[in-house]
Amino acid sequence: MQSPLFGLVIVAAVPHLILGGAGIDRLIVQLPARHRIGALAYATYARATDLGNGRFLYPILGIGGPLATWAALVVALMTGAAGSVVILLGVASGLAVLHTLATSQAAPTMLRIGRAENRAELIAPLLDRFTRLSWIRAALQVLTAAALLWLLVGQGELK
């Protein structure tokens, strides 16, 4: 029988895995396309995606993942989980804090892209800033997901 902590770690891992995968796709596939299609075309695309359905999906994942991660750490501490479990959840929780901080800079940048006048000289610097922040966010998302996966795969103490 699985422990409640195991289930909570799964609930925490899923959003981070989705965000990590989406972040890699954004960095390798989507954002480089702006150089081929231009800043204005990419801004139109971002307005339809990130500022379309993404306005609902990304906050659910970006808030739900860290909250579940932090909750798992609290449960692990309260139930006296093994030290290795607490350490991995602490690492994942710290990475989730950093991801949240990076997102607090990236999200307003994307909102500015959505509101900006359709002029390349206004949008291009915003896209450059969003790209830099996206590298940081993706790295943190992937590392958080990796810590949680490591915990799920390698720690019998959760079961």
Reported as a single tens digit per residue, the pLDDT across 3-36 is 889 999 999 999 999 999 999 999 999 999 999 9
Query: Is 69 in contact with 96 (CB distance < 8 Å)?
Result: yes
Domain span at residue 129? 4-158
Residue 1 has pLDDT above 60, yes or no: no
Which runs of E-coded beta strand occur in the chain? none
Please state the rounded mean pLDDT for residues 134-153.
96
With 0-12 / 13-18 / 19 or more C-beta atoms within 10 angstroms meaning exposed / middle / buried, residue 125 is middle
Domain count, the chain: 1
